[in-house]
Structure 1
């Protein structure tokens, strides 16, 4: 039906096609089909939250791991919040989206594995200017130790020698700015950092449903619709 509400969203049109077919098959007035579309979108939202909680893709596989492991921090956890269902009265149907445009943009990048171009100016605008006089972070201190940082200390009789330092010592004696400069010099031999770079993320397809899940959702909706019809 040409005027049937559609559930197709940016996650993957092929994944939502089955929902669109089932939705059209329910028939009814346009107002009823809009209601059905919102109900199905609500099921999709619930499934997306479940995928994030389980750290699984739509197909049941594990999320691609981070480049750098962060213990006890689930990936995409922030995307489970603020997810909402929005009616599309002008085109029909419903969308699963986010209240915050910034969050929606992050969700899109992870869903599709889309890279983003950055500059120091853009990073400062988005995240703010760091306080470089604060103590260095534990992550910086650990990176310095991994890179082989040594402190030059005086020797008896003159001269200096390199000495290993601990993460705790670095946290106490290095500022955020100092640690950043030393790390950059050790890694690139350049005093100035990159003036542009591309941040890439692997695709973590958490939003959408399989054909089997679509059938189950529509079966559940059909039972709800039939149960609400006066006898």
Structure 2
């Protein structure tokens, strides 16, 4: 089923009696292989939705304010980082290992409307290697007037590109760029922003029936393959 920012799969809930018996006859490592393969196919389907800018039901993503090619990069980055985070003979989870990335994905998938303050924007944790903002993002944030209160300094300052890459997550940098870009026309110096993101439901499978069909297709391939 589709979770808040994950796709959670338990094959027992989607197969008919005959297929269920066939599944139970498989050794644990083969059941694990089944769930891993299905989850990876769902990942491919989810990534394709991002490329096509389509929701689970086939409808197009709602256009962003000031939409353009650059606006697609956040979902593309999230889709690239999606992976099978847990798999066992009984269940599998497709999502993100990094909690912050998973949170950003949930905001994109479910939509959000909330107010963020400048004080909140200043509280960052060091970003793990491989998930930091890109140099291009960091430079864009500087151009948009992104400021923080750095250690040892009394007033807000514009951080360096290196500081941004060390302290700002790739996905969250994309969100910040959108916020600052959208608010720039409304005047600088704002102390809070209303963040409104429409739903972009790209994670998972469109219906339970489609999940069952996909499971059965991969199950038959495993049953008919040499062991």
Fold match by TM threshold 0.5: yes
* 1:159 aligned partner: none
Which structure 1 residue ranges, 5 or more long, are not aligned?
A: 1-6, 135-179, 186-191
* 1:84 aligned partner: 83
* 1:200 aligned partner: 196
- Higher mean C-alpha deviation, range 59-68 or range 205-214: 205-214
Give me the TM-score of the superposition, normalised by structure 1.
Answer: 0.59
How far is the alpha carbon of 1:213 from its aligned partner? 3.2
* 1:149 aligned partner: none
Give me the TM-score of the superposition, normalised by structure 2.
Answer: 0.59
Within a 5 Å distance, the mapping from 1:118-129 to structure 2 comes to 118-126=116-124, 129=147
Within a 5 Å distance, the mapping from 1:65-104 to structure 2 comes to 65-71=63-69, 73-74=71-72, 76-89=75-88, 92-104=90-102
How far apart in 2 are the matches of 1:31 and 1:106?
A: 33
User: Equivalent of 1:39, from 34, 37, 40?
Assistant: 37
Q: Per the alignment, do residues 18 and 223 of structure 1 end up closer, same or farther by CA in structure 2, a change over 3 Å counting?
A: closer
How many residues get paired? Answer: 170
Instruction: Please tell me whether the aligned partners of residues 16 and 209 of structure 1 are also in contact (alpha carbons under 8 angstroms).
Output: no
Instruction: Please tell me whether the aligned partners of residues 8 and 17 of structure 1 are also in contact (alpha carbons under 8 angstroms).
Output: no
Aligned-partner SS, 2:198:
coil
Instruction: Please tell me whether the aligned partners of residues 39 and 221 of structure 1 are also in contact (alpha carbons under 8 angstroms).
Output: yes
* 1:223 aligned partner: 220
How far apart in 2 are the matches of 1:101 and 1:123?
A: 18
Q: Per the alignment, do residues 72 and 11 of structure 1 end up closer, same or farther by CA in structure 2, a change over 3 Å counting?
A: closer
Instruction: Please tell me whether the aligned partners of residues 54 and 202 of structure 2 are also in contact (alpha carbons under 8 angstroms).
Output: yes
1:184 aligns with 2:177: no
How far is the alpha carbon of 1:88 from its aligned partner? 4.8
Aligned-partner SS, 1:27:
helix
Runs of at least 4 residues of structure 1 off by over 6 A? 15-19
Instruction: Please tell me whether the aligned partners of residues 16 and 208 of structure 1 are also in contact (alpha carbons under 8 angstroms).
Output: no
Aligned-partner SS, 1:87:
strand
1:10 aligns with 2:4: yes
Instruction: Please tell me whether the aligned partners of residues 56 and 63 of structure 1 are also in contact (alpha carbons under 8 angstroms).
Output: yes
Q: Per the alignment, do residues 47 and 123 of structure 1 end up closer, same or farther by CA in structure 2, a change over 3 Å counting?
A: same
Aligned-partner SS, 1:115:
strand
How far is the alpha carbon of 1:107 from its aligned partner? 0.7
Instruction: Please tell me whether the aligned partners of residues 9 and 35 of structure 2 are also in contact (alpha carbons under 8 angstroms).
Output: no
**Bigger radius of gyration:** 1
How far apart in 1 are the matches of 2:85 and 2:101?
A: 15
Aligned-partner SS, 2:72:
coil
Alignment root-mean-square deviation, CA: 3.7
Q: Per the alignment, do residues 19 and 110 of structure 1 end up closer, same or farther by CA in structure 2, a change over 3 Å counting?
A: farther
How far is the alpha carbon of 1:55 from its aligned partner? 0.7
